[in-house]
Amino acid sequence: MQYRDYRECGLQRGLLLAACLGLSACATLESAVETPFVSLNQVEVERLAVESQTVRLGFDVSNPNPFPLPVRGLRYGVKLDGHRFASGDAGGGFTVAAQSDTAFTISVELDLLSTAPKLIHVLRESAYREIPYEVHGEFDLDLPLTPPVPFANTGTIRLLD
């Protein structure tokens, strides 16, 4: 009877050790991915209609990691001049090479009634000054056991040249 208890104790210890190693591996992967630097480089109106407008947002991404970041999707939010401008989910399908930069664009459908007053104000102001922006979100990476990688940045952009 004692031998059976000893084996069960050994089995429990083995399972506990495996769980701890698994958790530490996940923590290591999470901390191993350095946050990419994301900046907004373009805001361009593609289509204006009564019910909605389509805007193209262009971003630059810098990957500080010694390995590529295969982006399969992203969640984002953009504020222009302190006003919530756009947010949502977008497909990825691009890779940022190791210790390199790349650019990507997304098209965003906006509701004219809720964004028109803010958009007109921001466009009018951009004729006289650079507009402050905030961008935040997270990348879903196509890497095993890697949680979403957050990003956030502020800067200024010139909308009308």
DSSP assignments along 49-93, one per residue: -SSEEEEEEEEEEE--SSS-EEEEEEEEEEEETTEEEEEEEEEEE
pLDDT for position 13: 47
Token couple for 151:
């990003």
**Sign of the Cα pseudo-torsion (83, 84, 86, 89, in order):** positive
Categorize the per-residue pLDDT at 59 as very low, low, confident or very high, splitting at 50, 70 and 90.
very high
Predicted pLDDT at 32: 80
pLDDT given at position 16: 40
Handedness of CA 110, 114, 119, 122 (dihedral sign): negative
Q: Write down the domain spans for the chain.
A: 1-32, 34-157
Residue 140 CB-half CA count within 13 A: 10
Which structure tokens are listed for 37? 């630097």
pLDDT in tens, 67-121: 999 999 999 999 998 888 889 999 888 999 999 999 999 998 887 666 667 777 7
CA 24 to chain centre: 25
pLDDT score at 135: 97
Q: What residues have CB less than 8 Å from 30, skipping those under 6 apart?
A: 146, 147
Tokens 């961008």, located at residue? 135
Q: Residue 115 corresponds to which tokens in the numbers above? A: 């964004």
Query: Are the CB atoms for 92 and 74 separated by under 8 Å?
Result: yes
The hierarchical CATH code for the domain 34-157 is 2.60.40.1820
User: Tell me: the pLDDT tens digits for 29-48?
Assistant: 446 899 999 999 998 888 87
Q: Give the model's pLDDT for residue 114.
A: 67
The verdict on pTM exceeding 0.85 is no
